[in-house]
Structure formats: structure tokens, C-alpha cells
Structure 1
Amino acid sequence: MSQSEAGRATREPPIWKGRITFVMAAAGSAVGLGNIWKFPYIVGENGGGAFVLVYLACILLFGVPLLMAEIGLGRATRANAFSAFKQLSARSKASSQWKWVGGLGIVTSYLILSFYIVVAGWCLYYFVVTVSGDFTQSGQTLTQADTGARFDGVLASPVLLIVASTTFLLTVFLIVASGIKNGIEKSVNWMMPSLMVMLVLLAIYSAQNGMFMKAFDFLFSPDFSKLTLESVLIAVGHSFFTLSLASGSMVTYGAYMNDSASIGKTALAVAGIDTMVALTAGLAIFPLIFAHGLEPTSGPGLMFISLPLIFEQMPFGQIFGAAFFFLMFIAALTSGVSLMEPTVAWLEQQFSMKRLSAAFLTTVSLCAMSLLSAFSFNIWDAKWLFGMSFFDGLDFLTANVFMTIVALATALFCGYCLKPEQLQQMFGHQSRIIPVFTFSMRFVAPAFVGLMVYAAF
């Protein structure tokens, strides 16, 4: 063993202060922009409460076991995703090529963050213009055409996109560069509770000023006539993506988890918080959407076109709108931190870099990489993959190809390569769940990944 390798081997990673802190960090990773707008409207489109039941079944059968696997891989090795697979494959005398599963996970999180920061920049911009009263004090009645033109103007301005996304990225850098204890841990301990409190307050305000019962029925009333095979496939896909799986994030966060903490209970808590945030977001948004006669299934247009129009018309709209877009910024920030951490941890452990240097190098390269996504909305209209722009193509490649490969490989690795004693080390006193976990990794998870591939292509 070389001197640098010895230094890496003896360097112990920090440990989360407690189980609640880890839950907050992991839930922050899982809770992102998709929870605020995507999950509520796909619930309404696909059978309301009937879809929620299918989604929860997918979470329990597929999402939680795979989340347990990733957390366990990290905790058993105290290493980044690449090194975790490398170490465990060596211990189990499996092929050394399994290390590239962790490597692909790190690459995936890096690429996702490179375009995610552009979307986060939109949220930051809309927070600023809402706080300034640009929508609510315009002196004229806005129309959907006006707010649509504003959003198109944001996309058409490369300078605006660069400034907004770089500001967001620098915020992520400051948190990650400060370390686990002083950066990520402290930030999630105030960001996640703040996010949930704001969301509940917004839902209460929305219930008082909108059509709450119609929104409640939209989200929770079972309509099994809308529950089709496509609905099931959507539930499978969202249960996977919403938990921040197959991106190296949960393996990396798991490396900082206390040995005495229950992986099973922690995974269930993370899944529960993630689902609760998504449904509460629906109760905060849709009463207002219905009250103003707008379409609730318009995706990004809902956030950046329809909602600003509502804020302009409603009482205290400036305050409500500012709180909403700040909420979106916090949700993006917690996910951004978890997406940067796998690359930083890998640079730290693989090359014995100091955290500040690793975070700086990652941030600079991400800033350059994000230009390709930002420019794809304006000055670079080339079609890159499957006839899509660079932004859309990168989204498709990471979500439907890379993450699918990592998820399937992780399940097969845990189900077929890891030996009983390694699983015992992963789960400790929870050894009773090992047979169920192994069955899930060998048969259930691959079946769900197969459904995801079918849905994607």
C-alpha cells in the first residue's frame, strides 16, 4: 500500500450528530423541485387516491429496499460510492468491475447538478422579482400571456441564467466546502424544518383563500377508472426518482451514518417525509389554481407562469409569492448539496484533497458545464440526443439510462454478490430483515427497473 493510500485508509469520515440529522439530510436530498409541482399533478392526473395507494406500494416494495441498500453500502465501508463498491466487491471476491457502478453514480449526480442549477436559478430569479413587487405592484392587471412572456424572456437571456445559476451554485459550494459538521449538518438542521413549516403555513393560507375541498378531492379521492398501466408505470418511475436513488448521494450520506442507527427505520422516515412534503405542496398550490380557473397539470408552466399570475391577483400575494419561491429555492438547495457531495467525497478520498479544494474544483467545473444547459435555451439551439436540446438530452440520459443502470446493478450486487456476513455488517442488529432484503434485491427491484425501462422507451 502506498503512502497516499495509507493516508486515505486511515482517514475516518465524520459521523452525523444523530439519526434525526441523517433523516433531515437524506430527506433534504430526496425533497426537490419535483416534489413541489410534479408529484401533486401526476396524482391528480392518474386517479387521485388510487394512484397514491399504488405509489406507496411502489415506495415500500422497491424504493425503501433500494434506499436501505445504498445507505448500507456507504455505512459498511465509510467510503464514497466508487470506493464502497470497490471495497465490498474485493471482500466478496467478486469482479473488481463493480466499482464502476459507484463511479457511474457519481458521474450521474454531477451531470444532474450541472443542469439542476439552471432550474434552481429560475426559482432564485422569481424569488427576487416577487420580493421586489414586480408582479404584484406592476400597476396593471397581468394576463397569462404576460407571465408567459416573462418566463420566455428568462430563458432567452443567457446572462440572466448564468448569474442566477452561478449564485445558486456558490451557495451550494459554501455549504459543502464548510464540511459535514459545520456545513451540511448545520444547514439541513434549519433548512428542512423551515421548509416544512413554510409549506404548512402556505397550505393553511391556501385553504383559506382557495378551493380547498376541490384540491383535496383532486389529490386524494380514489378514481380507479383513471388507474391504467401507464399510471402504474408512472408510480414506479416516480417512486424511484423521488428518493434520490442511483446517484451516489445516499451511499455517500450513508458513509456518515452512526453504526447504531436503524437503516430500515431511517429509510421509512425519509420516504415518509418525502411523500408528506409532496402531498402538502399539492394542498398549498392547487386550491389557488382551482380558485382562479387555471390548469393544474402544466408542469414548469404552473410554477413560473400560472402562479405569478395568481400572486398578482390575491391578497398579500407578494408575501405569499415570495415565501413560495423561497421554499422552492430551499428545496433546490438541499438537493443541490446532496448532488455535489458524492463528487467532493470522491476527490477527497481518492486523491487526498482537502475538502475546500475538492469543493472548489467541483464548483468551477460545474459552472462551466452548466453553460451548455443554459445556452441550450437561447444561443445554442442544436439538437443533441434523440432530437433534444442539450438540457433535455442530459435530463433524459441521466434519468432514464444512467440511473436505471446504477439501480439495477446495485440491486444485483447486493442480491447476488454480497455474502451473508457482509449483509450482517450492513444491517447489524436488524439481521432479521436480511432474507426479505435479499429477495427484494434479487427479484423485486430488477422487475421494477424493467418496468421503468419499458416506461421510458
Structure 2
Amino acid sequence: MSSRDHFTSRIGFILAAAGSAIGLGAIWKFPYMAGTNGGSVFILLFILCTIFIGLPILISEFMIGRRGQRDPINSFKEQAPGKPWYTVGWIGLIAAGLILSFYSVVGGWILSYLFRALTFSLTGKGLNFALLFNDLITNPWEAIFAQGTFMLLTLLIVQAGIKGGIEVASKWMMPLLFIFFILLFIRSITLDGAVEGIKFMFIPDWSYFNVDTLVLALGQAFFSLSLGVCAMITYASYLAKSEKIVNSAVNVAAMNIIISLLAGLVIFPAVFALDYSPEQGPGLVFIMIPAVFEQLPMGSILLIVFFILLLFATVTSSIALLEVVVAIGIGNKTQTRKKATWIFAIIIFVIGIPSALSFGLLSDLKILDKSIFDFVDYLTSGILLPIGALMISLFAGFHYSKKISREEMQSSPFIYWTWLIIVRFIAPIAILVILLNSVLG
């Protein structure tokens, strides 16, 4: 265990874990989910679900990873010998690989848009941004090349290890992410008519308060915190025993909420100020943002900043997903990291090619009436992640003795007992609701 790589500082771990959580979940998915589900009510439920259900499970993942000091599969094997809990690690391995396979496709789209923004090909009156986006995702060569370039960027960071790769990248990317977002936020809220976007986010329309919105908000909280994929278990396994996991988890959850709100405050004031509809769905970033920024002073420069920001957020999540697979693949044999990173990255890239082609050459191929891309998203986000999160919650709540979990948490009795009640009873019920909604809905 002495040869195992570790984070060199608490802030390095927090920024890496926050980067894993933030990503497309906060910047791409959160705004369009809020926009199509009434804004403020969805946002309020998302925050509550993150604090009262997502955070306790995040603490559980940190607890399992920090205590085990191993990759997810071996960590569960050592902490529960002779029992099948290690299947959580296999679920995480499969989920991480599959998510990264289609996540890298979206990462490729971002690289393509960033290239267009840098060459000022996204500016000019009369551009049809919906048609532009469609041309990009249906072009097989560009989609695959961009996907491969994104995977290459991800593997170069992961192969450098924890101290030299992931921690360094996160220490640079996450502060820049905040700075860029604040700059865009200031520009957005100073637009004429921006107040309507702020009202949309913070003045509740209670007609949207229903079970469906609650389930979607809960699912968003899980997705945006990377719960159930073993990424947080993997990162916490590189954490020193002396670090306080509750404080770290609170910081990660808080940063995730803040970035999500900033994403909304960048997008919705501009959307309302320029008389667009917030209910644009998944194309909000790729179709709406260029259209909005085209009409802003310094829009071309702001668009470049936005896609750099989005790339940073996406990479910090993709390196966490690849690290899960690599950590399991190499165990504690750090000398094989470079070779393993290339092998697994290439495998995931190949697995992701059908997703990259699912909007063009393979658009007629459907699984359960879904495109390949949408099916992989559904399989991971709707089924594998909830199952993984459910097992993690039950393991931390019931397998650990109260003595062990108290020692690991190092918190006040009130915080400890609140956590224990949630992970034993409340979180499992909430996760089962998400799972049933995904399977039956």
C-alpha cells in the first residue's frame, strides 16, 4: 500500500472530486432539465435532493474508498470477504466505461464547436444553428475524429497518475471554471430583460410541483454528483486516512450546486433577454448558446470562453470515469498505469463509435425505440447508477458497524445519526423510486 499513489493535498482531492461531479451534469444537463421542468421548482427540489440524499451517499462513497485504499472491486472484497458486495465494483466498472463511451462523443462535439468558435465560424447573421448542430452530429468522420481527440486528451491526463496528472489538471481547470463562469454570469445578468430569467430561476411556479418533477430532480442530483459509478470511491482511495471525509463531501456538493446555479444564471437571463424559450431540451447548449451569444456585444469572444469552460468541465469528469476503469485494471501496480490507460481508453473509444454514429449512419438502428446513444445513456443513468448507489448506501449503512462508521466520519452525533437514518432508510427508498421510474416509465 505504501507504493500507491495519493493526492498531495486536501484541496487537490476536493477539486478533483468536484471536477468529477461537475462536468456535463451541471453545465449541459442541469440548464435544460430546469428549463423544461418549470425552472425554480425543479431547482429548489434539486438543491434539497442534493443536500439530503445525494450528500449522505457521497459521504458513503468517500468512506468506502478511503477505508479500503484499493480499487472498488478489491476494496469491497477486503472489507466484506466472502460476500458479493464486490459486484458494486463491477457495476461501477461497466457503468464508467459505458458512460465515458458516449460522454466522449459529447466531448467531441464540444471540441468541434470550440474549433469553430476559435475560427469564428459560429458567428455571422443568418446562421441556422440547429442545422449546424445536425450537420456536425451526422458527419461520421468528424464525429469519430472529435471523439478520438477527446479520448486522447483524457488518457494523457490519466496516464500521468494522481499527483502528476489528475490533481494538477484539476487544480488548474476548476479555478478557471469558476472564473470563466463568474465573468459570463456578470455579462448575462447585465442584459436588458435579464431579470425575467432570474425570476424564472428563483420565483417558484408551484404548478410544476409534482412527483415527476421530484423524481427528475432526484435523478439530476445523482447524475451531477457521479453517484453509483464508483468514481468517488476510486478518488477517496487515494485520500490520506487523516482527512475528514464529511467536510470534503460538503465542499464537493456545495461546489456542484454553485456551478449548476451559475450555469443557469449564465444561460437563462440571456435566453429571456433575447426572447428565446428555455424549453429547448438537450440542444440548449449547442443550438441556443451560439444563437444567444451571436447577439451579444463581444459575443464571439464570450462564445470561445464558454466552450473552453465546457471543455474543462467535461474533461474533469471524463478523467474520473477513465480512472475508475484504470484503477480496477491495475489494482495497486502503479508501474502498469500508462499501458493500462492506453488499452482501456482505446477499448472505450471503440465501444463509443456506435454512439458517435447513432445520429447518422446508424440512425435507423434502435434499441427499445432509442438510438444507440440514448440507450447507453438510459442503461447507465437510469439503471446501473441507481443500482450502484443503492448498494453503496446499504453497504455503508448496514455492513459497517456503528463503531466503524463513527470513526470514519469523525463528526458530531447529530450529523452521524442523520446520515445513518438517510443511508439506511430514506436514500434506498428514493433510489428505488428512480429505478422504478426508469424501468416502468
Task: Identify whether the pair has TM-score above 0.5, normalized to the shorter chain.
Answer: yes
**Where does residue 95 of structure 2 map in the other structure?**
108
1:349 CA drift (Å): 0.9
| Identical-pair percentage | 35
Residue from 34, 55, 58 that aligns with 1:43? 34
1:413 CA drift (Å): 1.6
1:210 CA drift (Å): 4.8
Q: Distance in 1 between matches of 2:165 and 2:33?
A: 34
Q: Distance in 1 between matches of 2:150 and 2:2?
A: 31
**Unmatched runs of 5 consecutive residues or more in structure 1:** 1-9
Question: Contact 2:155 / 2:342 at 8 angstroms: preserved in 1?
Answer: yes
**Where does residue 98 of structure 1 map in the other structure?**
85
Residue from 132, 141, 151 that aligns with 2:119? 132
**Where does residue 88 of structure 1 map in the other structure?**
79
**Where does residue 126 of structure 2 map in the other structure?**
142
1:120 and 2:107 are equivalent in the alignment: yes
Question: Contact 1:76 / 1:425 at 8 angstroms: preserved in 2?
Answer: no
Residue from 306, 317, 335 that aligns with 2:288? 306
Residue from 216, 220, 227 that aligns with 2:202? 220
**Where does residue 416 of structure 1 map in the other structure?**
398
1:35 CA drift (Å): 1.2
Secondary structure at the aligned position of 1:354 is classed as helix
Q: Distance in 2 between matches of 1:393 and 1:170?
A: 24
Describe how 1:327-346 pairs up with structure 2 within 5 A. Answer: 327-346=309-328
**Where does residue 176 of structure 2 map in the other structure?**
194
Deviates more, 1:77-86 or 1:219-228: 219-228
1:150-201 deviation digits (Å, cap 9, x = unpaired): 1111111111011111111111111100110010000000100001100000
**Where does residue 159 of structure 2 map in the other structure?**
177
Pick closer, same or farther for the CA change 1:208–1:423 going to 2, 3 Å: same
Q: Distance in 1 between matches of 2:338 and 2:355?
A: 26
Q: Distance in 2 between matches of 1:69 and 1:376?
A: 36
Describe how 1:372-411 pairs up with structure 2 within 5 A. Answer: 372-411=354-393
Question: Contact 1:12 / 1:78 at 8 angstroms: preserved in 2?
Answer: no
Deviates more, 1:12-21 or 1:64-73: 12-21
Residue from 48, 71, 80 that aligns with 2:62? 71
Pick closer, same or farther for the CA change 1:47–1:118 going to 2, 3 Å: closer
1:104 CA drift (Å): 0.8
Q: Distance in 2 between matches of 1:212 and 1:392?
A: 33
Question: Contact 2:387 / 2:435 at 8 angstroms: preserved in 1?
Answer: no
**Where does residue 7 of structure 1 map in the other structure?**
none
Q: Distance in 1 between matches of 2:404 and 2:362?
A: 49
**Unmatched runs of 5 consecutive residues or more in structure 2:** none
Question: Contact 1:46 / 1:227 at 8 angstroms: preserved in 2?
Answer: no
How many equivalent pairs are there? 439
Q: Distance in 1 between matches of 2:381 and 2:34?
A: 20
Question: Contact 2:104 / 2:150 at 8 angstroms: preserved in 1?
Answer: yes
**Where does residue 7 of structure 2 map in the other structure?**
16
Describe how 1:242-391 pairs up with structure 2 within 5 A. Answer: 242-349=224-331, 354-391=336-373
Secondary structure at the aligned position of 1:415 is classed as helix
Question: Contact 1:31 / 1:331 at 8 angstroms: preserved in 2?
Answer: yes
**Where does residue 29 of structure 1 map in the other structure?**
20
- Opposite residue 60 of structure 1, the aligned amino acid is I
1:316 CA drift (Å): 1.3
1:133-157 deviation digits (Å, cap 9, x = unpaired): 1122x4xx225xx211111111111
Pick closer, same or farther for the CA change 1:314–1:329 going to 2, 3 Å: same
Question: Contact 2:5 / 2:334 at 8 angstroms: preserved in 1?
Answer: no
1:390-443 deviation digits (Å, cap 9, x = unpaired): 111111001111111111111122222222343245324667744333322210
Pick closer, same or farther for the CA change 1:257–1:454 going to 2, 3 Å: same
Say what the alpha-carbon RMSD is for the aligned residues.
1.9
- Opposite residue 369 of structure 1, the aligned amino acid is I
Pick closer, same or farther for the CA change 1:104–1:353 going to 2, 3 Å: farther
Question: Contact 2:4 / 2:334 at 8 angstroms: preserved in 1?
Answer: no
Question: Contact 2:191 / 2:270 at 8 angstroms: preserved in 1?
Answer: yes
Question: Contact 1:69 / 1:414 at 8 angstroms: preserved in 2?
Answer: yes
The TM-score normalised by the length of structure 2 is 0.95
Q: Distance in 2 between matches of 1:358 and 1:400?
A: 29
The TM-score normalised by the length of structure 1 is 0.91
1:190-249 deviation digits (Å, cap 9, x = unpaired): 100001100000111112235321111011112223211211111211111110111110
Q: Distance in 1 between matches of 2:293 and 2:351?
A: 34
